[in-house]
Every structure is written in C-alpha cells, then in structure tokens.
Homo-oligomer: A and B are copies of this chain.
Amino acid sequence: MQKSDIVDKERVVYLPQDEMPTHWYNILPDLPEPLAPPLDPKTLKPISPEPLFRIFAKELVMQEVSAERFIKIPDEVYDAYVYLPRPTPIVRARRLEKYLGTPAQIYYKCEYVNPTGSHKPNSAIAQAYYNKAQGIERVVTETGAGQWGSSLAMASSLFGLKCSVYMVRVSYDQKPGRRTMMQIHGADVVASPSNKTKFGQSLLKSDPNNYGSLGIAISEALEDCLTHENTRYCLGSVLNHVLLHQTIIGLESKKQFESIDVQPDVICGCIGGGSNFAGFAYPFMADKLKKKTNTEFIACEPKAVPSTTRGVYTYDFGDTAELTPLLKMYTLGHNYQAPPIYSGGLRYHGKAPSLCLLINKGYIKSVAYSQTEVFEAACILARTEGMITAPETAHCVRYVIDEALRCKKTGEKKIIAFNNCGHGLLDLQAYDAYLNRKLLDYEPATINVPKLVNQ
C-alpha cells in the first residue's frame, strides 16, 4: 500500500533512537555566577565532597560538583533510556490552539510515555546504575506523590538493587495506587513518619497522626542510609546531578525542534524541586546565557507552596531534621507545613539552587496558580487533546493557555513549548473532586524562614 501524504510532521515530532543525545548537559560552568557552595549542617562552613560519599554513590557526588559542560551517558543507562522508551515525542497541540482561537503555536514534550508515567525515570535509572556499579546493595529514598518512588523502585528492579521508600503518610493513605506500583516493582514502602527511624519515632510520639511532609521523609531516608551498611540515599530532584540527568529531555527537544525548523519563544514547566523544568529548559537556557537567543523561561508553582514567588533567597536545610547540607535557594523555611494540595510533587519548601540563581538573576520568571484554575486548564487540555495530565504539570498548562489567550489579543504568533512531565491517571480522584466542585483552594501556610547564615 502507498505511503500516506497527509501526515502533518509538526504534529508528532519523533527523534530516531540513534540520534538520542549521548551526553547530559551540565549548566554549572555556564551559570552567570558560581553557585554558592553547600554548607556543612553542623559547622555551617562549605562542605567538601568526601563526607557526601557516605550518603550518595561516588559518581553522583562527583557529578554534583563537576565543571564539565557535557557528561557522557553510560552505555547501560543509554540502553535503559532507549528501552523506556526514549526519545519521547513532541506533540503540537493543534486542537488546543484551535479551541483557544490563538495565533500562537503550542508544543509539548511527552515525558509521561514510560511505565511510571513521569520524567522521574531519567534520573532514577542513572542513580540506580551508579549505585549498582559501585557495589551498593540497597538504595533508600523518600517520595511525596509517588512518581519518584515508583520510578526508583522500577529502576532498582531493572538493575537488581533493593529499594526502600519512605512515602509521605498523607500520600501513602490517599494514593494507594502509587504504593502498590512500588510494591509491584519489589520495593519496601513505609508511611513517613514511621517507627523505622529515631526521628520518625520522635514525631509519632508527639503526634501519632502526623501526616508527614517531604522534608520529614528525607530526614528518615537519610537516617536509614546513615545507619545501614552498603546502603546509599537517592534524591529525586533539587540536586545538580538530578537536574543533569533530566537534561536528556531538553537535549532531545532541541534536536526535535531543529528537525522541523522551529525555535520556541517560550519554554515553560512546573517546579517542585525543579528537575523536570531544568531538564527541559537548561539546554535552551545555554543559548540564552550565551546571548544567542532571547527565549522566555516560565516556571510555574502552586500558590499554596510559593517558594520562588513568596519565599526568601537564602541558605536553608533540605530536610526537617536539619541533617542535609544547607543550600542557597528560594525557601519557605524547612519547617513549612505545605497545605494538602493534590499536586504532591510540588509541596517541597525549597527549590534547586541553580534554578533559584537563574530566577534571582532574572533569567527565569516564576508564577503561581491556585488549584482550581490549574484543574480547569487540565480539563481544557484533556477535552481538546485527549491527554489527561498530572496536577503538577497542569500548573504550566494554565500558563500556556493564558499566554496563548494573550497572544489572541495581541495577535502575536508566539511559539510556546512546555514539558508535559507526567500523566494524571493516578490522580483521577483529584479530577473527580474538581468536576464535583469539591476542590479547595489554599492560602500559603505561615512562612517562617530562619536566618541560619550571615550573608
């Protein structure tokens, strides 16, 4: 039968497997100024890599401080990427454009096309590989909504590692599906705070109904790591090496846009710790930092957890128990009690240091949205494009729709690209709440950022 001549190549843009980038992009050497160094949680002095070897696999620590612009993806990781499968397609949202009646063009990168349904495996696979290669037997981590935990559980099962996950209790109870997913992949999942750690025990003693937080779960995972032999800790966002692994998203996207001769004017994503946004945006940001382009970068967060729109740019702990090194970032304070919004992946008090620096220097603009306006946008996307996106992702869908409507007024033919970093198939009860007008909007909780370091 003859080939079809009606296919619209801009509609679904693929990248051949053997053109998948072979290296990750490390933005550190290209930043407008050096990152403020992480500080030792006890001495508050800059920390050297060595003590971190007990927490993370060596290679990951070295990547954390690497000055190399491009870092080779190991063959085993590359192979696992191809198998996810990667490269992931880019879709042009023509039906959404038509529905909005906008002259703008809207594209999204499909990072939900893999077994766990989000971008998280891009780093989970790399972290599982480096730990296995070092001879580590067990990795331990925390998870909020469960995207990271299920991705690390899957990656661990693929590389033959044991995996333990501390899952924020509110999600553990509200999202049994994600918990089951991790168990299918053979992971040991406990609700945090738990009785498995001293810190967890102390919290449960004072409040048996403590519904937990990402900061608490990180503290428990770290304590577990530090008190067990041949165990290392894995983190799903915030750190440089996690953002590094995620740049496969943007590196692929650049090639895909070049293949159809398109240059995005706006790069957009949601931010929890910052890894999906950075992974998509940094390869494009490299050109802006070199003054080659004038692309706009928009980071979207919840009004209930407004780290970059209402937080303070200062040194703070990454966890509640004050075990982690201090990072300079936009923070709501490491004791911030995030309201129970459905976007569990965006409930973290801080954000990635490199992302925060770029926001602080004006290279990235950040905006905040309430839960209901976010789900309204998600339903518009679903009814026009068919795709049901994660509540986290829907934060940037809201921006994209608003920007496209602005273009309708001004007549601008902007090219808007966003990272569709997760599907919402395990978040349908949140959609149900929205459709039945039971969804609540939340004001931010009390923001209390301790001044830990004189700057």
Contacts and interface: CB of A to CB of B under 8 A. Distances in A.
Interface of A: 1-9, 11-12, 14, 17-23, 70, 75, 78-79, 82-85, 89, 91, 95, 113-117, 154, 157-158, 176-177, 180-181, 183-186, 379, 382-388, 423, 425-426, 428-429, 431-432, 435
A4 B14 CA distance: 17
Contacts of A117: 425
A123 to B, nearest CB: 15
Nearest to A176: B432
B4 A185 contact: no
Contacts of A23: 1
A394 to B, nearest CB: 12
A388 B17 contact: no
9 contacts: A1-B22, A12-B83, A176-B428, A180-B428, A181-B388, A183-B431, A184-B379, A184-B382, A185-B382
A388 B82 CA distance: 18
A383 B3 contact: no
Contacts of A154: 386
Copies in the complex: 2
Contacts of A4: 18, 20, 22, 78
A157 B383 contact: yes
Contacts of A177: 425, 428-429
B82 A8 contact: yes
Which of A17, A21, A22 is packed against the most chain B CB atoms within 10 Å?
Answer: A17
Nearest to A155: B386
Nearest to A383: B157
A85 B91 contact: yes
Contacts of A14: 14, 17
Contacts of A185: 382-383, 386
A16 to B, nearest CB: 8
A9 B18 CA distance: 9
A17 B12 contact: yes
Contact of A432 (B91, B180, B387): B180
A276 B83 CA distance: 24
A386 to B, nearest CB: 4
A7 B81 CA distance: 10
Q: 6 closest pairs, A vs B, by CB?
A: A177-B428, A180-B428, A115-B386, A180-B432, A12-B85, A7-B18
Given A184-B388, A388-B115, A435-B184, A82 B11 contact: yes
Nearest to A255: B1
B95 A158 contact: yes
A23 B85 CA distance: 27
A176 B85 CA distance: 29
A9 B6 CA distance: 27
Nearest to A430: B180
A70 B2 CA distance: 13
B386 A157 contact: yes
Given A176-B428, A425-B177, A22 B8 contact: no
Given A154-B386, A426-B425, A431 B184 contact: yes
Contact of A180 (B8, B21, B180, B431): B431
Nearest to A5: B18
Contacts of A11: 79, 82-83
A359 to B, nearest CB: 29
Nearest to A178: B428
B383 A184 contact: yes
A114 to B, nearest CB: 8
Given A184-B431, A435-B183, A17 B9 contact: yes
